[in-house]
A and B are shown apart, each in its own frame.
Chain A
Amino acid sequence: MARFDLNRDTIADALAYLESFCKKLNTDPESCHRAMLVYEELVTNVFTHAKKGGATMLETRVQMDNGTFLINLIYDGERFDPTKAGNIDPSLPLEQRTAGGLGIFLVKQFATRFEYSRENNLNRVTVEVK
């Protein structure tokens, strides 16, 4: 588990945690890339959007079970449920495309499980990636 202070630590610090986890694993790079993508999108959202809603800390935990990555994020601040975001239409033409929502859209495509709960004033996100 790793804990980050959103006012002092950076997205790079948080991403380094998963990178070092992946380096220790003897697993295929494609699976690691999928996990990294999901992790990066969620962590970036906390450092940008959740922080604006008063979040000050983020805890992340990554585990590997039977070829599946289990990623847990806990952060404070206002209720911020990423599972409700990212409902974009990938068939839209270029003129109607915007950058917003792409990150969580990708999480939804790559995750085999994506859950959110709010407990004790904390946001909890659980994701599985194969």
Chain B
Amino acid sequence: MGANIEREGDLVRIAIDGRLDSLSAGDISNQILENIKESDKCVIFDLSRLDYISSAGLQVLLLVAKQLKSGKVYIYKPTKMVDDVLKISGFYGFLSKTDSLEVD
């Protein structure tokens, strides 16, 4: 459990598996916030193996998006449940979906 975080310059890839809920969000949030910088240009969340997200998980994504000064946050291949929750919550207004784990 937890997030798998990789850095490549000012690009950060974060893969989260399983569940991002009120039980796991606190630790995962701390782990991520310790590893990103305000100046990062791009954070890609790989949610291809995340089965479940609740509002506690959405708060993690919101915190990261607010943390970046001018960088962008991308969502890579969300599962259907996660995609539905992100859509309904209006999170695609400030997060973008991507089919690539590389920067454009």
Contact = CB atoms under 8 A, between A and B. Distances in A.
The main secondary structure of chain A at its interface with chain B is helix
A111 interface: no
Interface residues of B, number: 21
Given A11-B23, A40-B54, A94 B93 contact: yes
B52 A33 contact: yes
A44 B21 CA distance: 10
A114 B53 CA distance: 21
Nearest to B80: A30
Chain A contact residues (Cβ within 8 angstroms of B): what range? 20 to 34
Interface of A: 11-12, 15, 29-30, 33-34, 36-37, 40-41, 44, 89-94, 97, 99, 102-103, 105-106, 109
Interface of B: 21-23, 51-52, 54-56, 58-59, 62, 65-66, 80-81, 85, 88-90, 93-94
